[in-house]
Amino acid sequence: MAGAERRYASTVSILDRIGRIGSPTPAPGQGNSGRNAVMTATIDSPARDKAYLGFARPSPWVMRFLPLVTPGGAVLDLACGNGRNGRALLARGHAVTFVDRDTEAVADLATRTGAEIVRADLEDGSPWPLPGRRFAAVIGVNYLHRPLFPALVAALESGGVLLYDTFARGHEALGRPRNPDHLLKSGELLDLVKGALIVIAYEHGLIDDPDCPGIKQRICAVRAEIGPEGEPMVPPMPLPAA
């Protein structure tokens, strides 16, 4: 198969999985044509939204760059949903603060050592719920509220890592979210951290995520002190393998 054909086949596979998120298994005898009909009918359905909340595996982007986070350091899981990312970090010895407007999906962690649950509406104009707190990592996955970014940057301790992974413009042609308020513009994550964090890695494109494929933008960036020559005082960091 030629390179262009392989890329096309890969793209078709990704788009097919986007449509299948939240789609029920076809009934016996329904076959692929029936599944495709169901896929079209449910691509914007509440079942699809619930499927996102039901993800069990953490973001591959988060897990790829986790070695850059201080071992045992405190982590903020922003708009945590069911806590899939924070749960993975708890299991690796990090103390994790789970923040969301609805924390029912992480209520089982209320008595878990190292877990802190904070119920807060991050978009109603209320003050930042964690004033003065600093974290070794701040994680944001499949969530975007631009006014929060100054607080997220400020919440990083020196050497702290921002791991952000969410949808970008172009995804509206594939499925939810379609609201431009929830879709990053080209290069926007770079702009949001410019002058404040050192970018370690950045991606923008059609992401072949086994759970949540789509057009996404991702960044790994580190807060560093500025040295006497105006250069960031951050030690060389080996890039974890993709």
147 and 188 in one domain? yes
Query: Which of 24-33, 61-70, 165-174 is the least confident region?
Result: 24-33
Q: Answer whether residue 222 shows pLDDT above 90.
A: yes
92 and 207 in one domain? yes
pLDDT score of 214: 83
pLDDT score of 234: 64
58 and 174 in one domain? yes
140 and 34 in one domain? no
80 and 14 in one domain? no
Q: Answer whether residue 49 shows pLDDT above 90.
A: no
75 and 41 in one domain? no
Residues 89-111: what's their mean pLDDT?
95
pLDDT score of 180: 76
Single pTM value for the model: 0.74
Cβ contacts of 111-117, under 8 Å, gap ≥ 24: 114/90, 115/86, 115/90
Predicted confidence band of residue 33 (pLDDT cuts 50, 70, 90): very low
Summary mean pLDDT of the chain: 77
- The total number of structural domains in the chain stands at 2
116 and 30 in one domain? no
Residues 227-233: what's their mean pLDDT?
66
- For residue 142, being part of any structural domain is answered with yes
95 and 165 in one domain? yes
Predicted confidence band of residue 27 (pLDDT cuts 50, 70, 90): very low
Q: Answer whether residue 29 shows pLDDT above 60.
A: no
Q: What is the CATH number of the domain that holds 172?
A: 3.40.50.150
- For residue 12, being part of any structural domain is answered with yes
Q: Cα dihedral sign for 45, 50, 52, 56?
A: negative
Q: Which of 21-25, 28-32, 108-112, 231-235 reaches the highest mean pLDDT?
A: 108-112
137 and 27 in one domain? no
pLDDT score of 172: 59
pLDDT score of 237: 62
What residues make up the domain containing 174?
54-222
151 and 87 in one domain? yes
What distance in Å separates the CA atoms of residue 166 and residue 181, rounded to the nearest whole number? 12
Query: Which of 90-99, 191-200, 206-215 is the least confident region?
Result: 206-215
- For residue 232, being part of any structural domain is answered with no
145 and 25 in one domain? no
Percent above pLDDT 90 for the chain = 50
- For residue 94, being part of any structural domain is answered with yes
- For residue 13, being part of any structural domain is answered with yes
